[in-house]
Chain A
C-alpha cells in the first residue's frame, strides 16, 4: 500500500507541482505586499492576474481538455461580474462582512454564468469545430450587447430590471446598480489578493479532480475521438455540456473577483478582445497544461506593464513577441534551430 502511494503517476505529480508553484508564488508576493517591497503597479495587478489565471485555467478545460474552441469566454466572465457585483451590492445592508459578501457575489456569479453556459451550451455543442467557435463568439457579443442595455436598480422591495431604458418604478431609497452602457459605478472594492489566491486554488482543485476522474476521461475521450467515445457508451452531449458549464461557472466567479477590484465596470471590458486574450494564455501555456496557462496568464498580464518604458511601442512589441513565440514553438525548423542555440533545453526534452 505504501509503495503504491509513493509512485504517483505523471499527472498527479504535475498537479502537485502546480499547487506548489501557486502557493509559493502567493507566499512570496504576499510577503512582499506586507513588507511594502512591491511596486504599486504590480500590487494593483495581483487581483486581475488571479482572475485571468482562473479564466485561463477554466478556458483550458474547454479548449485543451474537451477540445472545443471557444471565442466567447469573456461573455461568461461578464455575466459573473455583473450578477455577482449586483448580489454583493444588493446585500450591502443585509450581510455585514465584506469577505462574506464577496464570497456570495462569486457564488452568484458562478451560478449565473453556469446558467448562461447551459443556455448557450445546449444549442452550441451540437455544432462542430469552427462553427462552434463562431457561435461562441456570437454569444459573447450578444451578452455584451444585452448587458450594455440592461438597467438594474434596488430598493426596499428588491431588485428591478429594465432593458433599454433606466426608468424603473422604484421607491425613494431606490438606487441604480447597473446603468446600461455606464455599467456599475458604485462597486465596493472587496477583492483582495488572498481572495484571488483562494479562488485560483479552488479552481485548480475542481479542474484537476474533474479531469482525473471518469468525467474528465470522458471529456478527453470525446476530444480524441468522438465516434469511438460514443461506441463505448459515452453520452457525448452530457459530458461536453458538463465541461462547458464547469468552465463557464469558474469564469463567472473570476468575473466577480475581477469586477470587485475596481470601482467601476462596463460591459465593453468583456468583449471579443478579452476572450481572445484568454485564448492566447491557453494556447501559449499549452493545451491541457494548467501550469502553463497560469504562467502565461501571469506573464502576459505583467508583460505590457514591463514594456511600459517603451511607451507607444509596447503593444507593437507585444504583438511581435506573440507571433514569434507561436512561430518558434510550432515550426519544426525554428524549433530545432532554437534547441541548437540553447543546448540544455534539448537535453531536458530528451530526458523526458
Chain B
C-alpha cells in the first residue's frame, strides 16, 4: 500500500507540474520563448487566492476565480509591455527580459506581501478519502489535483483542435508570417495564449499551495523550473507531451524521494531528463525538426 501511496502523491505532484508545463509549452509553441517568469505567475495566483480566502473570507471558488482573473490580466499585461516589443529581437534578449520580469514579480511580491511565509489553507479542505477499508487514504487535494489536470488536458486538446482560436494558435506556432497572410490576428492570438497559460498557472498555484501550504515570494521558482523541465521532457511545444512529461516528472521525483534519497531527488529528476534527451533529443512526444540543406 505504501507503493500505491507514493504513486498517488507522484501523480498528484505530477499533475501540478503538468498544468504549469501546459502553460509553458503553449507559450513556447507560439512565442518560441522560454518564459522564465511563468513560475512567478503561479506564486501571484497563490497569493491572490490566499488573500481572497483567508483575509476576506470569500468562498474558495471565488478565490480561485479571482486568482485566475488576476493572473490572466497579469499575463496579458506582461506580454504586451515586455515581450511584444521584442518580437523581432534575438531570443536571448527575450529570455533576459523574462528573467527581469521574474525578478520584478518576486521582488514586487516581497514588497507587497513581505517575505514572511503565509500558511495557505487548502481550497478543498484537509479531508481524506479512505479506500480499501482504510488501508489507503487519499486527500481531497490529491483527488482535486488529478481531476483538474485531466479536465484541463482534455479541454485544451479540444480547444486547440476544434475552435477557431485554437486553430489560429496552431497556425501561429507553425509559421507566424503565413498565419498573418491568412488573416489571423497574430498579436491577439499570442495574447490569448498568454492569458490561457497564466490562468492555468493560477490554478496550479492554488493546487500547489493546497498540497504544500507554505507560501513565500519564491514559491513559484522551483516548480517553474521543474515544469519547464517537464515540458522539455515531453517535447516542448507539444500539449500531450507536457501532460506526460509533467506526470512522469512528478512520479520520478516522489519515487526518488521514497526509494533513493530525499536530498538527492532533484539530482535524480534532472539526471533522468538528461538520459531521456540523449535517447530522444526532441523529448518523448516532440517532433524532430531537421534543417533543410
A interface with B by C-beta (< 8 Å) = 63, 69, 123-124, 126-128, 130-131, 133-135, 137-139, 141-142, 145-146, 148-149, 164, 227, 272, 276, 279-280, 283-284, 287, 312-313, 315-316, 318-320, 322-323, 326-327, 329-334
Once A319-B104, A326-B96 are accepted as A-B contacts, the answer to whether A142 and B278 lie under 8 Å apart by CB is: no
B151 within 8 Å of A (CB atoms): no
The interface residues of chain A lying within 8 Å CB-to-CB of B95 are 69, 279, 283
Binding stretch for chain A, among B45-53, B86-94, B140-148: B86-94
Known A142-B267, A164-B261, A330-B86; contact A322-B100, beta-carbon cutoff 8 A: yes
Question: Chain B residues in contact with chain A, CB under 8 A?
Answer: 28, 34, 36, 82, 85-86, 88-90, 92-93, 95-97, 99-101, 103-104, 107-108, 110-111, 225, 228-229, 232, 236, 261, 263-264, 266-267, 270-271, 273-274, 277-278, 281-283, 291, 293
Q: How far is the CA of A326 from the CA of B266 in the complex (A)?
A: 32
- Interface contact A145-B264, CB-CB below 8 Å: yes
Contact B281 A131 (CB under 8 A): yes
- Is B263's CB under 8 angstroms from A148's CB? yes
30 A-B contacts (beta carbon < 8 Å): A130-B232, A134-B273, A134-B277, A135-B274, A138-B270, A138-B273, A138-B274, A141-B225, A141-B267, A142-B270, A145-B264, A148-B263, A164-B261, A164-B263, A227-B293, A272-B225, A312-B110, A313-B111, A315-B103, A315-B107, A316-B104, A319-B100, A322-B103, A323-B82, A326-B96, A326-B97, A327-B97, A330-B86, A333-B85, A334-B85
Cβ 8 A contact of A63, one of B92, B267, B278, B283: B92
Please, how many angstroms separate the alpha-carbon atoms of A332 and B293 in the complex?
Answer: 31
Give the docked Cα–Cα distance between A318 and B86 (Å): 20
A131: chain B residues within 8 A (beta carbon): 232, 277, 281-283
Q: Chain B residues near A280 (CB, 8 Å)?
A: 96, 99
Q: Is the CB of A331 within 8 A of B89?
A: yes
Q: Known interface pairs A145-B264, A323-B82. Does A276 touch B278 (Cβ–Cβ under 8 Å)?
A: no
- Expressed in whole angstroms, the minimum distance between the Cβ of A84 and any Cβ of chain B is 22
CB closest residue in chain A, given B228:
A134
What distance in Å separates the Cβ of A261 from its nearest Cβ neighbour in chain B? 25
Which chain B positions have C-beta within 8 A of A329? 93
Pair count A-B, CB < 8 A: 129
Residues of A within 8 A of B271 (CB): 138, 142
In the assembled complex, the Cα of A328 lies from the Cα of B38 at a distance in Å of 23
Q: Report yes or no: B232 in contact with A145, Cβ–Cβ below 8 A.
A: no
> Roughly how many angstroms separate A261 CA and B20 CA in the complex, as a whole number?
40
Q: Which residues of A contact B99 (CB under 8 A)?
A: 276, 279-280, 322
Cα–Cα, bound, A312→B109 (Å):
11
* A139/B111 in contact, CB under 8 A: no
Known A149-B263, A316-B104; judge A326-B277 contact (CB<8 A).
no
Q: How far is the CB of B285 from chain A (nearest CB, A)?
A: 14
Other-chain residue from A63, A148, A312, A318 in contact with B111 (beta carbon distance below 8 A):
A312
Residues of A within 8 A of B93 (CB): 283, 326, 329-330
Inter-chain contact B270/A316, CB cutoff 8 Å: no
- Residue in chain B with minimal CB distance to A140: B270
Chain A residues contacting B103 (CB-CB under 8 Å) are: 315-316, 318-319, 322
Task: Among A131, A138, A312, A320, find the residue whose CB has the most chain B CB atoms closer than 10 A.
Answer: A138
Q: Can you list the 7 inter-chain pairs with the closest CB atoms, starting with the nearest? A: A319-B103, A138-B270, A330-B89, A145-B267, A322-B100, A319-B104, A323-B100
